[in-house]
């Protein structure tokens, strides 16, 4: 199979013997053929009716499951929870750090994530490098920096004024009144942000606050939303863990609540009224406690039981869920383990898959072209061994993700030679 300069095969690719879960929430379809041409799905339907195409490359999937490419709506490529961060950053040259991040991006793509939102810590150049084909990784929307008030979740300065986050890359955008908030939003938009990330509460890893503490005020959040409305309506994602901060964010008009661990009934009411998305990031509760400082680990575990109870209630009442992992705070390239965690909130495996495909595409404003396996849409797809509806955790092991296609280009091909 030859490729052109875009990395796509110039010939159509025909997948046969597929069991298709299309991402819409529909039941799987058996013995399906999927045709990809010029980076798009041109046929999805019964094998008996598929068009006969000369010079097509045929790949028999042998009954394996074909799904849309997955999304991770909340991750951070700037860091790796498994690394000795300070040691690496003090000894590595900056260019090595760039390549480390590129490696994380490639591994994440190969784990089945073809689109992602980086919600703080990398610059727009990484997004552009993927779009230009210079590096492999999920197509990206980037927030660039987290906006919070002084002493809030994005302020890592010590009393002496030292900022350890400066070892990474500009991570924070501090603002302390509505005028400063508007200016901060404009700076982020100027620097290329696709999404604005605000801190409506404190958090686990921040040194100066607690998850229940309130962050930006409702008035300040409303200013952010108003300013983004004036610039093509970019979404606003709210880091929000405590109940009051969640409600402040929703009253301010945010697009999504990130984490949402302690959401109360009034917060769920507001989420449903505002048609906002919930991105639970449950993977943060299932990592190694050694990745956290003792203070951060205490905060995390203090919330764990309440978070499962409150998020389950939000799901029961019909909150729209999109998949996000907070990878970086946890390990990269294990993103689809989040699907199994979502089922513990009451989603069925099919609903969890939709959370990672169509729902996530809707949150990112990409559902017209991505998120489902349908004719006319961009050809992002994943093929896995095993049946994810019988065992959703099969997708959480990257070894079971045997083929990944992004925009018609095969990025990972680990099918046995006999079926290539």
Identify the CATH number of the domain in which residue 219 sits. Answer: 3.20.20.140
292 domain-assigned: yes
Q: Are residues 301 and 320 in the same domain?
A: yes
The CB density around residue 397, as the number of other CB atoms within 10 Å, is: 15
Residues 420, 105 contacting (CB under 8 angstroms): no
d(C-alpha 133, C-alpha 89), whole Å: 27
212 domain-assigned: yes
Question: Among 336, 321, 314, 335, which Cα is nearest to 393's?
Answer: 336
Q: Are residues 244 and 384 in the same domain?
A: no
Residue 18 belongs to domain spanning: 13-68+371-419
Give pLDDT tens digits along the chain (420 positions).
545 445 556 689 999 999 999 999 999 999 999 999 999 999 999 999 998 888 889 999 999 999 999 999 999 999 887 655 555 555 567 888 899 999 999 999 999 999 999 999 999 999 999 999 999 999 999 999 999 999 999 888 777 776 766 666 678 999 999 999 999 999 999 999 999 999 999 998 888 889 999 999 999 999 999 999 999 889 999 999 999 999 999 999 999 999 999 999 999 999 999 999 999 999 999 865 445 677 777 888 888 899 999 999 999 999 999 999 999 988 999 999 999 999 999 999 999 999 999 999 999 999 999 999 999 999 999 999 999 999 999 999 999 999 999 999 999 999 986 454
Check residue 27 and report its DSSP letter. Answer: P
d(C-alpha 59, C-alpha 67), whole Å: 15
**Count of domains observed in the chain:** 2
Q: Are residues 357 and 375 in the same domain?
A: no
**Model-level pTM?**
0.94
- At residue 255, the pLDDT reads 98
The CB density around residue 409, as the number of other CB atoms within 10 Å, is: 20
Classify the C-alpha dihedral 99-100-102-106 as positive or negative: positive
Which of 343, 363, 383 finishes a domain?
A: 363
4 domain-assigned: no
Q: Are residues 83 and 22 in the same domain?
A: no
- At residue 290, the pLDDT reads 47
Which of 320, 347, 363 finishes a domain?
A: 363
Q: Helix, strand or coil for residue 156?
A: coil
- At residue 5, the pLDDT reads 43
Q: Are residues 177 and 251 in the same domain?
A: yes
Q: Are residues 380 and 301 in the same domain?
A: no
8 domain-assigned: no
Q: Are residues 139 and 246 in the same domain?
A: yes
Q: Are residues 247 and 320 in the same domain?
A: yes
Residues 377, 114 contacting (CB under 8 angstroms): no
Which of 320, 339, 363 finishes a domain?
A: 363
- At residue 54, the pLDDT reads 82
Q: Are residues 263 and 386 in the same domain?
A: no
- At residue 13, the pLDDT reads 96
Q: Are residues 354 and 387 in the same domain?
A: no
Region at 62 (left for phi over 0; alpha for psi -120 to 50; beta for the rest): left
394 domain-assigned: yes
- At residue 52, the pLDDT reads 86
5 domain-assigned: no
238 domain-assigned: yes
- At residue 86, the pLDDT reads 54
109 domain-assigned: yes
Q: Are residues 36 and 162 in the same domain?
A: no
Render pLDDT for 64-112 as a digit per residue (tens, 0 to 9): 999 999 999 999 999 887 655 555 555 567 888 899 999 999 999 999 9
Q: Are residues 313 and 333 in the same domain?
A: yes
Identify the CATH number of the domain in which residue 408 sits. Answer: 2.30.40.10
- At residue 143, the pLDDT reads 98
Distances (CA, A) of 192 to 94, 132, 149: 21, 16, 21
d(C-alpha 337, C-alpha 315), whole Å: 18
């Amino acid at each position: 199979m030859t490729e052109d300069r875009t990395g796509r095969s110039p010939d159509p690719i025909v997948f046969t013997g597929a069991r298709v879960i299309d991402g819409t929430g529909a039941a799987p379809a058996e013995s399906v053929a999927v045709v990809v041409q010029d980076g798009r799905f041109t046929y999805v339907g019964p094998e008996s009716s598929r068009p006969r195409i000369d010079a097509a490359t045929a790949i028999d999937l042998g009954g394996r499951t074909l799904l849309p490419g997955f999304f991770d709506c909340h991750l951070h490529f700037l860091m790796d929870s498994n690394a000795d961060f300070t040691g690496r950053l003090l000894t590595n040259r900056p260019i090595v750090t760039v390549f480390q991040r590129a490696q994380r991006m490639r591994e994440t793509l190969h784990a089945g994530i073809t689109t992602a939102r980086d919600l703080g810590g990398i610059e727009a150049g990484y997004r552009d490098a993927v779009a230009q084909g210079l590096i492999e990784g999920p197509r990206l929307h980037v927030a660039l920096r987290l906006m919070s008030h002084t002493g809030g979740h994005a302020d890592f300065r010590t009393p002496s004024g030292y900022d350890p986050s400066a070892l990474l890359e500009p991570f924070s955008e501090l603002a302390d009144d509505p005028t400063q908030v508007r200016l901060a939003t404009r700076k982020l938009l100027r620097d290329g942000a696709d999404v604005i990330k605000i801190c409506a509460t404190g958090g686990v890893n921040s040194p100066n606050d607690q998850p229940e503490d309130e962050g930006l005020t409702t008035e300040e959040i409303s200013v952010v939303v108003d300013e983004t409305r004036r610039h093509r309506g970019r979404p606003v994602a709210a880091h929000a863990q405590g109940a009051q901060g969640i409600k402040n964010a929703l009253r301010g008009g945010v697009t999504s609540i990130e984490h949402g661990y302690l959401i109360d009934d009034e917060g769920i009411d507001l989420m449903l009224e505002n048609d906002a998305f919930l991105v639970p990031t449950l993977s943060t509760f299932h990592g190694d406690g050694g990745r956290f400082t003792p203070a951060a680990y205490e905060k995390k575990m203090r919330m764990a039981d309440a978070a499962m109870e409150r998020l389950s209630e939000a799901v029961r009442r019909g909150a729209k869920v999109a998949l996000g992992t907070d990878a970086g705070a946890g390990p990269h390239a294990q993103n689809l383990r989040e699907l199994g965690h979502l089922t513990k909130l009451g989603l069925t495996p099919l609903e969890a898959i939709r959370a990672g495909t169509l729902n996530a595409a809707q949150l990112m404003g990409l559902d017209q072209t991505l998120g489902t396996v349908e004719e006319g849409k961009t050809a992002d797809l994943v093929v896995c061994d095993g049946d994810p509806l019988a065992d959703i955790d099969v997708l959480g092991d990257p070894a079971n993700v045997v083929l990944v296609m992004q925009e018609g280009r095969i990025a990972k091909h680990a099918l046995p030679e006999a079926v290539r």
